[in-house]
Chain A
């Protein structure tokens, strides 16, 4: 079937609209659907998040994230899970706690893990604050690379910054 808007391309989406109490269904091609603000599976999957979200919402197994669209609003920013589904973006750090079960499933599916392994942020002055070590090791690494590249001006600046740290 041809697209009913342009009459040129094949229709891939059927759009049902209720106009004056009457339901009308039209077939649209991907481009005309996009012009009307409808994302087709093909256009959604062009972005990593689009692919990720569409895989997620398609899923219908019990206990899957689609079943876990939690109701309610985030106390931090007022965002709902529907807002996230629509924009692909969370509203604040608190959203991660508010929607934790659903997000945990989502993270596992996308990243293959829910556990961060890497640099850890410690508030300044806290007992385990190792940020000075991170700065120093970063500067030492830059210094080594600057010397290797024979950029002695940069190397001198980095050496000064290391001295300031000590």
Chain B
């Protein structure tokens, strides 16, 4: 199995619940898409092209302050569980992790990890620069990724068009190449059935929403990833300000919804969140979806002050560590599909027991 001890915080610093608005916002991600001039984009590239890209990037990265001491991992030389583990930690995209056994990773797929930064190589674009931060931290994420981009841009010739900006394989990313996403927990809006109205209005003003794992992933556990839809025509700061303002509004709506729930149905809510806690604490088998939904209930209970003594960090960690590759990594063997529910329930129970032990 992969050794992530070389990566600071094991690459899960973003889970620590320390960032602004951590009671509602799990994480903020800003990514920039970049390509190297004079080389075909990955979709038309040969193995040799991708190896060239990787060595050029590694050479440049070696002299970049933001990547000092970074760990470099070649996805094409890692096993499937290890690749999936990186994806579950949000350190590489699904495309780079290539979790489907029928479509192994492309030669030259790699990621450089340093602190909050992940530099993906030979993904849909030659480079995907990602900054992943705890809580609502658009400014910090942009400062981190923007610095990395400027440093790499001093050493690498990026594909840039005077009118269209940074050129990307998919024209939906062209221009700034910037996608900022905020992963937010909105159970209040789901329970009060206001969520569709809110999401619809966000789409009308240029945002898009996805599930926990980005494009094509389902919404589970009432987590929504809100991000900018377009990348061309507005500056990086304009895109980030717009997203930040709208996320601020959504936070306001969610808090209002929670007040309504507590005012109109306090008994129902209290019962719901404690039942969720009870099931997680004592269940012997949990599917991923059930675990996500119950964790959402407990997170709501913690946010409303109904369930004391469960840290947001513990809940965040459970979101990631109850997933298949993490359960396999903890077991030290690749677990079969039918072993996962019991292993998951064991891990959740143990974690919540420890937490309760700390707060008798």
Interface residues of A (CB under 8 A from B): 46-49, 52, 76-79, 87-93, 96, 103, 106-107, 110-121, 123-124, 131-132, 134-135, 138-139, 141-142, 145, 161, 164
Q: Judging by beta carbons under 8 Å apart, are B147 and A118 in contact?
A: no
Q: Judging by beta carbons under 8 Å apart, are B164 and A145 in contact?
A: no
Q: Judging by beta carbons under 8 Å apart, are B175 and A111 in contact?
A: yes
Interface string of B16-56 (1 = CB under 8 A from A): 00000000000000000001011111011000000000000
The listed residue (B124, B147, B157, B170) touching A142 by CB distance below 8 A is B147
Interface residues of B (CB under 8 A from A): 35, 37-41, 43-44, 65, 124, 139-140, 143-144, 146-147, 149-151, 153-155, 157-161, 163-167, 169-172, 174-176, 178, 208, 215-216, 229-236, 238
What are the residues of chain B within 8 A of A103 when measuring CB–CB? 171
A92 to B153, CA, bound (A): 19
Pick the most buried of A48, A111, A134, A164: most chain B CB atoms within 10 A of its CB.
A111
A47 to B216, CA, bound (A): 7
What are the residues of chain A within 8 A of B176 when measuring CB–CB? 116, 118-119
Pick the most buried of A96, A112, A161: most chain B CB atoms within 10 A of its CB.
A96
A132 to B161, CA, bound (A): 21
Q: Judging by beta carbons under 8 Å apart, are B233 and A89 in contact?
A: no
- Count how many pairs of residues, one from A and one from B, have CB atoms less than 8 Å apart in the complex: 145
The listed residue (A79, A96, A138, A164) touching B143 by CB distance below 8 A is A138
Q: Judging by beta carbons under 8 Å apart, are B139 and A89 in contact?
A: no
Starting from the known contacts A89-B41, A114-B232, 6 additional A-B residue pairs (CB-CB under 8 Å) come to A49-B170, A77-B40, A110-B172, A117-B234, A118-B165, A139-B65
Which residue on B lies nearest to A134, using beta carbons?
A: B150
What are the residues of chain A within 8 A of B149 when measuring CB–CB? 119, 134
- Nearest CB on B from A158, distance (A): 9
Q: Judging by beta carbons under 8 Å apart, are A135 and B236 in contact?
A: no
Q: Judging by beta carbons under 8 Å apart, are A139 and B43 in contact?
A: no
A76 to B151, CA, bound (A): 27
What are the residues of chain B within 8 A of A117 when measuring CB–CB? 233-235, 238
The listed residue (A87, A115, A132, A134) touching B233 by CB distance below 8 A is A115
A93 to B177, CA, bound (A): 14
Q: Judging by beta carbons under 8 Å apart, are B234 and A118 in contact?
A: yes
What are the residues of chain A within 8 A of B41 when measuring CB–CB? 77, 89-93
A138 to B32, CA, bound (A): 15
- Nearest CB on B from A49, distance (A): 5
Q: Judging by beta carbons under 8 Å apart, are B40 and A110 in contact?
A: no
The listed residue (A49, A115, A120) touching B160 by CB distance below 8 A is A120
Q: A48-B172, A48-B229, A111-B230 are in contact. Are A89 and B235 (CB under 8 A)?
A: no
5 A–B contacts from the bound complex (CB under 8 Å): A48-B215, A77-B40, A96-B167, A113-B234, A117-B238
The listed residue (A92, A107, A123) touching B44 by CB distance below 8 A is A92
- Nearest CB on A from B59, distance (A): 14
Q: Judging by beta carbons under 8 Å apart, are B233 and A90 in contact?
A: no
- Nearest CB on B from A25, distance (A): 31
What are the residues of chain A within 8 A of B234 when measuring CB–CB? 113, 117-118
The listed residue (B160, B170, B174) touching A121 by CB distance below 8 A is B160
- Nearest CB on B from A148, distance (A): 10
Q: Judging by beta carbons under 8 Å apart, are B164 and A114 in contact?
A: yes
Q: A120-B160, A138-B143 are in contact. Are A77 and B44 (CB under 8 A)?
A: yes
- Nearest CB on A from B279, distance (A): 32
A112 to B43, CA, bound (A): 26
The listed residue (B161, B233, B236, B238) touching A93 by CB distance below 8 A is B161
Q: Judging by beta carbons under 8 Å apart, are A93 and B35 in contact?
A: yes
Q: Judging by beta carbons under 8 Å apart, are A107 and B150 in contact?
A: no
Q: Judging by beta carbons under 8 Å apart, are A135 and B150 in contact?
A: yes
A28 to B232, CA, bound (A): 38
Q: Judging by beta carbons under 8 Å apart, are A124 and B155 in contact?
A: yes
What are the residues of chain B within 8 A of A89 when measuring CB–CB? 41, 43, 124, 169-170
Q: Judging by beta carbons under 8 Å apart, are A121 and B153 in contact?
A: yes
